[in-house]
Structure 1
Amino acid sequence: MLTITKRLEFDAGHRIPQHKSQCRNLHGHRYALEITLEGEPIDDPESSDHGMLMDFTDVKALAKDHLVDLWDHAFLVHDGDTLIRNLLAQIPGHKTVVLNRVPTAENLVAIAFEILDPLYTERFGNHLKLRRLRLYETPTSWADCDRK
């Protein structure tokens, strides 16, 4: 099996409500998401993707349409963080994404894996699957979610 990885970046705000440090405050990050796919190269001389696992443009388009564009320049908030949810609701047209988990790097990468996994799996009959997502919260801090 071979792997390919595509990196996308987006900006988003969040807070960790019960955290002991400054992360309990509203703040934002320049996130980077690395999408690693595993499979065999497409063996169809008639296909424009011949010799590829998946065209990088298509990897990017799926991630942007289903995750990155939704989270980019949004505030990612836990559904239990009613104080901030109510505050953000007062801002007309505010881009808020309500999540069922506290928006830690670990939870965000797990949510992202759940969203993206079915989009890449077995698309071309070349055993393609999402192998790993890596979400950088800072250049030196990240969380991984790997296929079990």
Structure 2
Amino acid sequence: MIRITKIFTFETAHVLYNYDGKCKNMHGHSYKLFVTVKGNPINDINNPKNGMVVDFGDIKKIVNEEIVDRWDHAVLVNGDSPHRNLGTDLEKQGHKVILCNFQPTCENMLYEIAFKIKAKLPNHVHLAYLKLHETENSYGEWFAEEN
């Protein structure tokens, strides 16, 4: 079993409904996402991906389509809270808003990222690990064996 990792960066803002600290105010982060998948390298001389668990380009395509392209320079808002009105007002003003069905914390973003990526991976490849840096020294981790 081999694990491979691809790293992504994106800029996203969020606002935390009913939070008791500074993050109750809308603010942004330069996120850094580590995506680790695992599997056995393909052992077929006739397969153009011979020797690879999965092509790094295929991981890049999945993560960009499902996460980076959607979330980059967007505002994540808890659509199940009164902040839905804030999100709707921002959309009306031309802003890119993602109305989430969760509080957009680093932790919940990891659950959403895992859900979206797992659904797109080839059958022989498994999501093993995610790490999402919200700041240089603050991050959350998601491990497949714990979920």
TM-score (norm 2): 0.91
Structure 1, unpaired ranges of 5+: none
Distance, in Å, in 2 between the alignment partners of 1:58 and 1:82 is 34
Aligned to 1:84: 86
Q: CA deviation at 1:88?
A: 0.8
Aligned to 2:99: 98
Structure 2, unpaired ranges of 5+: none
Q: CA deviation at 1:121?
A: 4.4
Distance, in Å, in 1 between the alignment partners of 2:8 and 2:58 is 13
TM-score (norm 1): 0.91
Q: Deviations over 1:94-137 (max 9, x none)?
A: 21111000100000010111111121141xxxx32011111111
Aligned to 1:114: 115
One-letter amino acid of the counterpart of residue 52, structure 1: M
Q: CA RMSD in A?
A: 1.3
SS at match of 1:65: helix
Larger mean Cα displacement after TM superposition, 99-108 or 83-92: 83-92
Aligned to 1:135: 132
Q: CA deviation at 1:83?
A: 4.0
Aligned to 2:9: 9
Alignment of 1:34-45 (within 5 A): 34-45=34-45
Instruction: Please say if residues 14 and 104 of structure 2, whose CA atoms lie closer than 8 Å, have aligned partners that are also in contact.
Output: yes
SS at match of 1:112: helix
Structure 1 runs, 4 residues or longer, greater than 4 Å off: none
One-letter amino acid of the counterpart of residue 125, structure 2: L
SS at match of 1:12: strand
Distance, in Å, in 2 between the alignment partners of 1:61 and 1:118 is 13
Q: How many residues are matched?
A: 143
Q: CA deviation at 1:84?
A: 1.8
Instruction: Please say if residues 12 and 31 of structure 1, whose CA atoms lie closer than 8 Å, have aligned partners that are also in contact.
Output: yes
Q: CA deviation at 1:86?
A: 3.4
Instruction: Please say if residues 75 and 96 of structure 2, whose CA atoms lie closer than 8 Å, have aligned partners that are also in contact.
Output: yes
Instruction: Please say if residues 9 and 32 of structure 2, whose CA atoms lie closer than 8 Å, have aligned partners that are also in contact.
Output: yes
Instruction: Please say if residues 121 and 130 of structure 1, whose CA atoms lie closer than 8 Å, have aligned partners that are also in contact.
Output: no
